[in-house]
Structure 1
Amino acid sequence: MSSHSKNVAIIGAGPAGLMAAEVLAQGGAAVTVYDAMPSAGRKFLMAGRGGLNLTHSEPLPQFLARYREALPHLRAAIEAFPPQALRDWSETLGQETFVGSSGRVFPKAFKASPLLRAWLRRLDSLGARLALRHRWTGWDEQGRLRFETPDGAHIVDIRATVLALGGASWPRLGSDGAWAEILAAKGVKVSPLRPANSGFTVAWSDIFRDRFEGQPLKGVALTSGQATVRGEAIITRAGIEGGAVYALSAELRETILRDGRATLNIALRPDAETGELTVKLSAAKGKQSFSNFLRKAANLSPVAIGLLQESAKTSGSSLAALSPTDLARLIQAVPVQLTGVAPIARAISSAGGISFDELDDAFMLRRLPGMFAAGEMLDWEAPTGGYLLQASFATGAAAGRGALKWLERKI
């Protein structure tokens, strides 16, 4: 290839963009990675702040099923770069991985920063260049990429582009979804960006909110419709969030969009039989307070008891007035009315994005030949647990391979 014929722009310096850059640079392309932020991988670093969950160790068939309706569009990319390949890749950068008790895979360093530093060094050694503080704003009259920089407009003439601009969650880290309007103006179908793996709003009473904000409900089981998830939920000032809530967020979000609200049922003692709880709750209370009785008889935490009291107030009754049987049933299915979805800016990820109908098998936009897309800006969502990063890495690699083939055809 001549120098000009192999020029490639990667727009977005997150996992999908950097993986596309690595594939292209290893294939001999002259790669420049553009990003609007002052440094690369800001959301990636945020994701690793509490431990970088790279992927998951469950068997591939179960792993793939997590992508639900998007699976037919993501299968080939993930099978070409599966979880084990991601772990092997991490280890080539000096970051060994381990499997946690939940099956999630983490680097032994646990953080994202050592992996990102090693990755950027590799890209530099491959000749890939970083152009930071470059915000993509579309094209000029001649079809060249246009960027806004602190020094003014910057125009780039290239042979191929990989878009990896992320969704619209955590916009302060760079993924603000502004690209949606740019592509829609070119006729590209973009599904509305919506919160995914998000919290929900609840009209808590002031007493409950002030006392239990930030408190976790541990070892609970959450149910929405036919789906039940075990895990942890956290009471927030505005509502409820946490890992088990995120796992149900797609169903809950769609219910709220359709009906204006949704009911989340919380089993506070999912491992206990209702009959067993009824027997314990039938015991004499003596002189102890009712809350202290619940704590001992049903092994409930203060926040769990507070949630029961909140539910009873909402229904216009009191816990003390319930029969042991009804109280046991309530403990196993506390109804929480969700009134809305937390803002997308606070969501872990986003749903919606570029419709897969707009892409060919190489992740190239059919309406914009030579322009590829990858990562969270595509119309898919997945639960937390390593599935988000895995698909971002895999689609980035797939878009990189597609761009390489495009360049070869254009020689």
Structure 2
Amino acid sequence: MTTIDNHIAVIGAGPAGLMAAEVLAQGGAGVTVYDAMPSAGRKLLMAGRGGLNLTHSEPLPDFLTRYREAMPHLRAAVEAFPPDALRDWSAALGQLTFVGSSGRVFPKTFKASPLLRAWLRRLDATGVQFAFRHRWTGWDEQGRLLFQTPDGASAVVARATVLALGGASWPRLGSDGGWVDILAAKGIAISKLRPANSGFTVAWSDVFRDRFEGQPLKGVALTIGAHTVRGEAVITRGGIEGGAIYALSAELREAVLGIGQARLTIALRPDLDAAALTTRLSGTRGKQSLANFLRKAAQLSPVGIGLMQEAAIASGRPLAAFSPAELAQLINAVPVQLRGVAPIDRAISTAGGITFDELDEHFMLRKLPGVFVAGEMLDWEAPTGGYLLQASFATGAAAGRGALGWFAQSQKS
């Protein structure tokens, strides 16, 4: 077993870990970033396939509410490194950003790889070292960090440690939740990791599934209980997913896990009320098929009409037997029964993690002095739209500042 004496160790080479390393290096600390994968930023590159939604342009008070119950715990970190600071940081790496029509912020290249390459070059220039194919396995009795490497076991002495190992979504990219047992054995309270921003399963009929798999639902409003979101969704072979679904995933997930199912209501024409739709549907159909009549009279898409047919089948009445008023009611209240949550390894992100009660204001674990935590290891979740990456960057910077302060204090003692 080899022993390496190092200043500060950052474990995890995703956005949170790399940001912590940058803050530490800029503060004058010697830093090594360890990661089990062969290269850095693999999940960031995956996010870049959708354009790399870095953050969101909405006012900060509204932005912060997206973190729900975790807002009080994340507020200081996000305020210290807010969306405008993230955009400036990206620009300093040569990656200018723009605000899309939905308010989301993207690099103008619409890619992650140029930003990641520039970032890694800057980290290298500041002296940050990298140790890939190093899987962290905990601590030994002397408090040294233990790693499994291609060359065998390795022990590392660190003055401070930043853990940024991600959640448990996309394990093939490095976030497999393997850290949970290690920290639980140290008495750290951890909320169960659950899928967030995930799809849900639906028992579609064979006809609907075969015809509409992959088809989008555009401009719809989705509702569960008192929560409604406007946006888009996509029919999958086993269920439904997409941006509007992700925005409701916490409520939908808790309903499914609590009672075994969730009733999602879809408004296909949310800008038209029942009276307006009834008027449109009261005309003579003539020789048109019902599907053609609905398409022309109510401007419904084929997949929307298909959803109405699914609801009619479930009700035991053919859709053709519905009156104009009943059709109008159904158009803006199509019931869809969600039967399950897509597996966590298919989710975009993870809910659950280390509870904030375990941390001090510097993101240090109270029970493990000198060990700081950032990113999706923490017990928070947020919808897609830039909120996930923003909090990962911001908590990484906060943990880096905390570790830098701890290191400076240890130098004096």
Deviations 1:122-175, CA, capped at 9 Å, x for gaps: 000000011111110111221111111111111111111000000011111100
User: What is the aligned partner in structure 1 of residue 333 from structure 2?
Assistant: 333
- Which residue of the partner structure matches residue 46 of structure 1? 46
Secondary structure of the equivalent of 2:263? strand
CA distance in 2, matches of 1:80, 1:67: 16
Please name the residue that 1:283 is paired with: 283
Look up the equivalent residue of 2:142 and give its one-letter code.
Answer: Q
What is the match of residue 25 of structure 1?
25
Give the aligned partner of residue 130 of structure 1: 130
Distance apart, 1:365 and its partner CA: 0.5
Contact 2:197–2:384 (CA under 8 A) maintained in structure 1 = yes
- Report the Cα distance in structure 1 between the residues aligned to 2:361 and 2:5, rounded to whole angstroms: 23
CA distance, structure 2, for counterparts of residue 197 and residue 50 of structure 1 = 15
**Using the alignment, how far apart are the partners of 2:317 and 2:147 within structure 1?**
61
Read off the aligned partner of 1:91 and give its amino acid letter.
Answer: A
SS of 1:402's equivalent in the other structure is helix
Tell me how far apart the structure 2 counterparts of residues 241 and 5 of structure 1 sit (CA, whole Å): 47
SS at match of 1:157: strand
Aligned position for 2:111: 111
Count of residues in Structure 1 that have an aligned counterpart in Structure 2:
408
Relative to the length of structure 1, the TM-score reads 0.98
Tell me, what secondary structure is at the counterpart of 1:410?
helix
* Alignment correspondent of 1:310: 310
- Contact 1:262–1:338 (CA under 8 A) maintained in structure 2: yes
Distance 1:375 1:252, change over 3 A: same
Q: Is structure 2 residue 166 aligned with structure 1 residue 163?
A: no
- The ranges of structure 1 where at least 4 consecutive aligned residues each deviate by more than 6 angstroms after the TM superposition are none
Cα deviations across residues 375-398 of structure 1 (Å, max 9, x unaligned)?
011000011110000000000000
Relative to structure 1, the CA distance from residue 35 to residue 5 in structure 2 (aligned partners, 3 Å threshold; closer, same or farther) is closer
Structure 1 distance, partners of 2:404, 2:252, is: 40
State the shift of 1:6 in Å: 6.9
Q: Which residue of 1 aligns with 2:227?
A: 227
- Aligned residue for 1:367? 367
Amino acid of the structure 2 residue aligned with 1:265: T
Residue type of the partner of 1:373? V
Structure 1 residue 64 corresponds to structure 2 residue 69:
no
Identical aligned residues as a percent: 78
Cα distance in 1 for partners of 2:276, 2:145 equals 67
* Structural RMSD (CA): 1.0
Q: How far 1:271 sits from its partner (Å)?
A: 1.0
Residue-by-residue CA offset, 1:341-361 (whole Å, 9 max, x unaligned): 111111110000000000000
Alignment partners' CA distance in 2, 1:77 and 1:273: 43
Query: Equivalents in 2 of 1:279, 1:254: separation in Å?
Result: 38
CA-CA distance at 1:5 after TM superposition: 8.9
Q: Tell me the amino acid that sits aligned with residue 264 of structure 2.
A: L
Q: Tell me the distance in 1 between the aligned counterparts of 2:292 and 2:308.
A: 13
Alpha-carbon distance in 1 for matches of 2:93, 2:8: 24
SS in 1 for 2:158: coil
Aligned match of 1:186:
186
Aligned-partner SS, 1:254: helix
